[in-house]
Amino acid sequence: MASPPPPGIYVPVPTFFSKPPLNEPTPPLDLATQTKHALHLAKNGIRGLVLLGSTGEAVALTEDDRRSLITRIRQEMDGAGYKDYPLIAGTASQGVGDTVKLLQLSKEAGAQWGLVLAPGFFATCITQQGLIDWYIAVADQSPLPILIYHYPAVSNSLSLTASTFTSLSAHPNICGAKLSHGDLSLHSQLASSTIHSMSHDKFATFTGLGQQLLPVLMVGGSGAIDGLAAIFPRAVVKLYESVKAGEWEQARKLQEVVARGEGLVVGYGVVGAKEGLRRILGLDSECRLPLKAGMTEDAWSEWEEVMRELGDVEKT
């Protein structure tokens, strides 16, 4: 039976790109900035990194990009004293074979787990049994333990039921889930389950939304894979630690400001996360088409107050 990632706060890191040469539409990887950001996160309490997820623009990366990025992060983390630092590699393929191929590549490059997005292209005619069979076929062949990535907004509104998760939790190579949606009922059913295969040492439930962190932890969740933590790692880690320590007044205050700040990432996605990284941490990055990096001053001004509040938390 595969072990899940350890509990805590993880960051779905954006993929950093430098400016492309003239007349070249595709910006190249900026691995120097990528590793600088990764080390900053590790030094500020982040438990692990999710590479090549939705925030990482995985669908715009080639296999060579994937190999280069994971390999470089693993080398730099090991070299900086973070040996065996948890790295989770995402996949967003529709086919079993393509997904397994990406998981194999990720293992060879240094990842320890895979985060496998549900295949939503045919969402309107996919049954829950079809999803179970798909994930089992992937897990049977995957060289990495896998977590189920449930993100209806990027999967053509495809949803997995609690009973589907329960069935899949019995597979020895499926060890958890990331739930990126507002359905706290599903979080509760999974994280509070008394079924043996769903116990926390076998199946970890992470929320993908930091604005839900306090309630998710209260029902037994393992933590968060949270985009705002890419910009303010200490603030989100402090929220996690406050809940774990039973410091409820502080936890509620932190949850309120984190929830407001999360609106930047939820509302603007990768573009919002990269704008925050540029303005707050001085880490600049392009996006790959069709995404375009950058927010107007008017758009950013709506977030300045809460960004200052989070910055104050970050410094304490």
Catalytic residue set: 178
Q: Are 211 and 191 in contact (CB under 8 A)?
A: no
Alpha helices in 113-154 (DSSP H): 128-141
Query: DSSP class of residue 116?
Result: E
Are 118 and 155 in contact, with CB atoms under 8 Å apart? yes
Chain-centroid distance, C-alpha 26:
24
Amino acid (1-letter code) at residue 222: S
Best CA proximity match to 124, nearest among 100, 98, 163, 152: 152
Nearest Cα to Cα of residue 298 among 278, 314, 273, 275: 275
27 Cβ contact list (under 8 Å, min separation 6): 17, 18, 19, 20, 286, 287, 288
| Cβ atoms of residues 221 and 206 within 8 Å | yes
3-state DSSP assignment of residue 25? coil
